[in-house]
Every structure is written in C-alpha cells, then in structure tokens.
C-alpha cells in the first residue's frame, strides 16, 4: 500500500513540475481532434452532396412544334429503352408554360401577353445514379439525331 501511495505522490509531483508541458500537450491533442473532426464532417457532407448531384443527373429533349405523334413516340420509346434512364417525363407545351409561370412569377405577366405559347414540348430524362457516362453520352447523341427533336440540352454533373 505504501508503494502505491508513493507512485501517486510522485506522479502528482511530476505533473505539477511539468504543468506547462502537460498543458501544451493537452492543447495540441485537442486541436488535432478538432481538425480531424472538421475533416470528417467536411468529407461526409461532400459525399452526400456528390450523391445528390449524381441522383439529380438529367437532360431534356425539346420537341419541334412540327413533330408528329409517331416521331414523339419514337423519341419517348428510344429514351425509355435505355438502361441509363431511370425515369422519363413528357412535358406538353401547356405544362411548360404553367411551370414557367410558377417558377418565374415576375415574368408570368409577360408570358400571358403573348398571342401564342412560345415554349416547346419536351421529354425530361432522369438518369440512374449508377449510369455509365459513356452510355449516357451515346444516348444523348442518339436522341439529338432523332426526327422531331428541336433542341437538346444536357445538365449532367459529370
């Protein structure tokens, strides 16, 4: 028992003698843990952000006003059959105008003054999160070359 008391007394005396060194060491370890935690939080948030970007990969195919129903069907079928595609949504001219008015409220009055709806119908394509970029590029080129396609816009995060 005497030996145990001796060890604790010596440890306390040693800590008191090296108080400044112990304080600096403790502060250094604390700063190291704070920096490590900051990097862990940053990498975790970046991973979530990249996952969201990947899940939001999409492109739109705008249809010519002169596109026939057969051409529209061919475009939609070509897009739906691709393994890179997760979902396809057909947006009519009227739906496009309604969306425009909802998203750009200050410009809605200007759109209402027009004699005819200037916005084209479109096919919006949402890609799978694991889609191969080469397959997506191939599909995009194929879609842009189809009859009835007016404009092709890509919005890919890759």
Both tokens of 58, joined, read: 């999409």
Which tens digit of pLDDT belongs to each residue from 13-59? 887 887 888 889 889 999 999 999 999 999 999 998 887 776 667 78
Whole-model pTM: value is 0.58
Distance CA 140, CA 130 (A): 16
How many whole angstroms separate alpha carbon 93 and alpha carbon 29?
62
Question: DSSP labels for 25-60?
Answer: HHHHHHHHHHHHHHHHHHHHHHHHHHHHHHHT-EEE
**Cα–Cα dist 62/133, whole Å:** 21
Question: Residues 144-157: what's their mean pLDDT?
Answer: 68
Is pLDDT of 158 > 60?
A: no
Q: How far apart are the first and last CA of the chain?
A: 69
Q: Which of 37-51, 66-80, 105-119, 143-157 has the lowest mean pLDDT?
A: 143-157
């Amino acid at each position: 028992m005497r030996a145990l008391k001796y060890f604790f007394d010596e440890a306390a005396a040693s800590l008191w003698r090296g108080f400044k060194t112990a304080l600096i060491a403790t502060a250094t370890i604390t700063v190291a843990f704070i920096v490590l935690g900051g990097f862990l939080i940053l990498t975790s948030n970046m991973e979530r952000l990249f996952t969201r970007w990947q899940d939001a990969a999409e492109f739109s195919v705008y249809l010519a006003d002169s596109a026939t129903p057969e051409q529209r069907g061919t475009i939609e079928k070509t897009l739906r059959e691709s393994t890179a595609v997760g979902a396809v949504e057909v947006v009519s001219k009227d739906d496009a105008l309604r969306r425009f008015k909802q998203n750009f409220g200050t410009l809605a009055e200007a759109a209402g003054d027009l004699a005819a709806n200037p916005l084209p119908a479109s096919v919006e394509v949402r890609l799978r999160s694991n889609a191969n970029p080469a397959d997506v590029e191939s599909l995009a080129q194929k879609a842009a070359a189809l009859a009835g396609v007016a404009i092709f816009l890509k919005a890919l995060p890759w």
